[in-house]
Amino acid sequence: MSTFHVRSGKGPKGDAFSVSKTWLSVKLCFIVLLIQAVTFPAAAAQNITGLQLHIREQDVVMDNGILQVTLSKPAGMITGIQYNGVDNLLEILNEDSNRGYWDLVWDAPEIKRKKGEFDRMETTNFTVIVETENQIELSFTRMWDPSLEGKFVPLNIDKRFVMLRNSSGFYTYGIYEHLKDWPAFNLTNTRVVFKLRKDKFHYMAMSDNRQRYMPLPDDRTAERGQPLAYPEAVLLVNPVEPEFKGEVDDKYQYSIENKNNRVHGWISTVTDPPMGFWQITPSEEFKSGGPLKQCLTSHVGPITLAIFHSTHYSGADLILQFGPNEPWKKVFGPVFIHLNSLVNGDDPLKRLWEDAKQQMEVEVQSWPYDFPASKDFLPLDQRGSVSGRLLVHDRYISDEDLPGNGTLVGLAAPGNVGSWQFECKGYQFWTKADEKGCFSITGIRPGTYNLFAYVPGLIGDYRYDAEVTISPGCDKDVGTLVYEPPRSGPTLWEIGIPDRTAAEFFVPDPNPKYINKLYLNHTDRFRQYGLWERYADLYPHNDMVYTVGVSDYRKDFFFAQVTRKTDNNTYQGSTWQIKFKLDIVDKNNTYKLRIALATAHVSDLQVRINDLRPSNPHFSTGLIGNDNTIARHGIHGLYRLYNVDVPGVQLVEGNNTIFLTRTWSTSPFQGIMYDYIRLEGPPSSKGNNLGFSSK
């Protein structure tokens, strides 16, 4: 049976391959069809029947001849997925309500809970929205009224499920609405969860270099696993399969950025034929926090997630907070659940993964979809586009404006410079500029936005001064924009690469007792458990000292400034030193120290110049951050940039030292990660080093 999905027929909004779709999308789909016919010959020959909808007393079944999806009625739980001779791909050992479901975590501001209220979003009404030979769309709703205050989140919830003819999967999307006169509330997390059968799905994949056979959920039990510093991390001491003994299982080791979170899932090699279960996200427009925000993907269960909003790697800064008179509506999704199977041939792991990526490309090129029946999901002809070119001007790099090659350019709700990484309530639309700095963003929902940009290799954020208003069918050209990154004078020295991560710094080998074999000799070596403890191993008594011009940040600059555990099980802060030499100092002018942080967690970074003794530091960030990135192996959370004035009178000709003290130390996970540090000389018409010496 084939699993390559190619839409055919007409839905409520016309042909799936409408004239509004680009030739690239059509060409891609024909390529997939060709691969289907050649690689999966049985697929091309099969005769797929039309759609059927079976409404029973307690559930409803969508059936297109390739798969059957069973949903409880009216609760809207996905209780069964039948495919390729397997009666249910979801975990049959679980209760019906604990197999496939939407959920959220919320709180009322006046109620003080340690954690928010978990809501599996059981609905109370069921409606057939579309039932044709080419499409089925079902709606499961729960409407809020004042009698439910304090019991349920004050939202109208509409969960939609869509099946198309000849499709090897199904779609789901949700519509959340908060009316103006409803009470205030906070939303910390919302997602779709699929719990697959542990007797069948053992291999997990989320990228070309992040895939592996996984332990069983049984290995995390008290009889087989040892909990580590937090519940999500478990040392496998007596796993069912001995090959996993001594490994750490931790779901946060499989997080990924929104911009790269397109397809992930599981493969079963114990079925005949082998099959895959994939969650495909064709767009991140409905996700919180922008393209660099990290979220969970798949993990031991076997579980696969579609996370739309969470506070992971950001903390309270990304809690969705609604006032008592704040109307809001948002569409989350659709996401596509894609099933595939291998009729014949070798290497099912590779071939099923490659097919999943091909299907992901089809879905991405088809975005925005034209089939969702809700008026709240807007097709392409009700959206607009914007284009332009972004250049960079830094006279200490070049006298010419340089193209913003590789720049991430996006539209998000109006706000301050860099506010896009905190934005949760609206939609964001991002693209990458080409080598000339040219960019084009299509499929933008009507509204008023700011245009933002982040240029890899440069510090700071760009925001276009004028707001951009998008209307249906518009094609706006904002012209040539010029970003002038923060700069006061020439670079005297720099440490790291301004890419918003700490990945270029020294990431130590893990403690041999706490390894994940996937990340041995891997580019993402920072995802190993317990790396925060390695700082005390490398610096048991004295803190890190980095000498500019001598030290190598790739080997000598530890990736995170963390706490150090003492003998009496308390924690202490640390003071790092950056030593550098100046041959000439301009006492009458001001130097500038740029400190870009990749993340912070419950820390205060204090800066002192040439004297560690003063009780009042030269500069202090104050208590910042709740990203929890260190514990979650993320290498970056929220980006923060600090620009510190350094009077020339505080520097000396000869040897100088900058002391970086990180305070607040009560747990092993408090700390900061640096993105980049730079010292600039006073303003000058020339980009020379103004007396800096590397020796």
Average pLDDT (479-494) is 97
pLDDT in tens, 229-247: 999 999 999 999 999 999 9
Using a 10 angstrom Cβ sphere, with 0-12 exposed, 13-18 middle and 19 or more buried, the burial of residue 513 is: exposed
C-beta neighbour count of 403 within 10 angstroms: 17
Q: For residues 289 and 310, is the Cβ–Cβ distance under 8 A?
A: no
Q: For residues 255 and 294, is the Cβ–Cβ distance under 8 A?
A: yes
Residue 69: name the closest of 59, 642, 135 by CA: 59
Neighbouring residues of 146: CB distance < 8 A, sequence distance ≥ 6: none
Q: For residues 470 and 447, is the Cβ–Cβ distance under 8 A?
A: yes
pLDDT band at 21 (very low <50, low <70, confident <90, very high): very low
Give the separation between CA 657 and CA 593, rounded to whole angstroms.
Answer: 13
Task: Say yes or no to pLDDT of 8 above 80.
Answer: no
Residue 676: name the closest of 429, 552, 504, 520 by CA: 504
Cα dihedral 26→29→35→36 (10° resolution)? -130
Q: What is the pLDDT of residue 1?
A: 33
Task: Say yes or no to pLDDT of 28 above 50.
Answer: no
Average pLDDT (257-279) is 97
pLDDT band at 693 (very low <50, low <70, confident <90, very high): low
Q: Which amino acid is at 202?
A: H
Residue 293: name the closest of 255, 333, 320, 264 by CA: 255
Q: What is the pLDDT of residue 49?
A: 67
Question: What pTM was computed for the model?
Answer: 0.91
C-beta neighbour count of 226 within 10 angstroms: 13
pLDDT in tens, 307-328: 999 999 999 999 999 998 899 9
Task: Say yes or no to pLDDT of 615 above 80.
Answer: yes
pLDDT in tens, 169-189: 999 999 999 999 999 999 999
pLDDT in tens, 124-141: 999 999 999 999 999 999
pLDDT in tens, 191-204: 999 999 999 999 99
Q: What is the pLDDT of residue 46?
A: 45
Q: Give the whole-number percent of the chain exceeding pLDDT 70.
A: 91
End-to-end CA distance of the chain: 68
Give the separation between CA 482 and CA 401, rounded to whole angstroms.
Answer: 8
Task: Say yes or no to pLDDT of 280 above 80.
Answer: yes
Using a 10 angstrom Cβ sphere, with 0-12 exposed, 13-18 middle and 19 or more buried, the burial of residue 411 is: buried
Q: For residues 671 and 562, is the Cβ–Cβ distance under 8 A?
A: yes
Which spans in 264-389 are helix H?
A: 348-365
Q: For residues 99 and 93, is the Cβ–Cβ distance under 8 A?
A: no
Task: Say yes or no to pLDDT of 686 above 80.
Answer: no
Phi first, then psi, for residue 388 (nearest 5°) are 170, -165
Residue 233: name the closest of 248, 244, 222, 243 by CA: 248
Q: What is the pLDDT of residue 346?
A: 84
pLDDT band at 39 (very low <50, low <70, confident <90, very high): very low
Q: For residues 493 and 473, is the Cβ–Cβ distance under 8 A?
A: no
Average pLDDT (383-391) is 98
C-beta neighbour count of 16 within 10 angstroms: 23
Q: What is the pLDDT of residue 691?
A: 56
Tokens of 372: 């969702």
Q: Is 225 helix (H, G, I), strand (E, B) or coil?
A: strand
Q: For residues 247 and 234, is the Cβ–Cβ distance under 8 A?
A: no
DSSP string, 563-603: -EE-TTS-EE-EEEEEEEEES---TTSEEEEEEEEEEEEEE
Give the separation between CA 237 and CA 517, rounded to whole angstroms.
Answer: 15
What crossing angle do the helices spanning 23-39 and 348-365 adopt, rounded to 10°?
160
Q: What is the pLDDT of residue 354?
A: 97
C-beta neighbour count of 324 within 10 angstroms: 12
Q: Which residue has the tokens 């059936």?
A: 63
Give the separation between CA 137 and CA 126, rounded to whole angstroms.
Answer: 11
Beta bridge mates, 125: 141
Give the separation between CA 89 and CA 225, rounded to whole angstroms.
Answer: 26
- Report the b/e string of 325-363 with b at 16+ CB within 10 A: eeebebbbbbbbbbbbbbeeeeebbebbbebbebbbbbb
Using a 10 angstrom Cβ sphere, with 0-12 exposed, 13-18 middle and 19 or more buried, the burial of residue 132 is: middle
Q: What is the pLDDT of residue 344?
A: 80
CA distances from 273 to 92, 303, 344 (A): 20, 21, 8
Lowest mean pLDDT among 12-21, 188-197, 226-235, 253-262: 12-21
Residue 177: name the closest of 378, 336, 322, 78 by CA: 322
Q: What is the pLDDT of residue 4?
A: 33
Q: What is the pLDDT of residue 110?
A: 77
Q: What is the pLDDT of residue 114?
A: 64
Average pLDDT (57-81) is 98
Give the separation between CA 256 and CA 265, rounded to whole angstroms.
Answer: 13
Give the separation between CA 691 and CA 588, rounded to whole angstroms.
Answer: 15
Q: Give the whole-number percent of the chain exceeding pLDDT 90.
A: 87
Give the separation between CA 224 and CA 293, rounded to whole angstroms.
Answer: 34
Using a 10 angstrom Cβ sphere, with 0-12 exposed, 13-18 middle and 19 or more buried, the burial of residue 127 is: exposed
Give the separation between CA 437 and CA 353, rounded to whole angstroms.
Answer: 33
Q: What is the pLDDT of residue 12?
A: 38
Average pLDDT (524-539) is 96
Task: Say yes or no to pLDDT of 34 above 90.
Answer: no
Please, what is the average pLDDT of the chain? 91
* Listed ranges 41-55, 281-295, 675-689; the one with the highest mean pLDDT: 281-295
Q: What is the pLDDT of residue 26?
A: 41
Q: What share of the chain is helix, strand, coil (3-state, %, to 5)?
A: 15, 40, 45
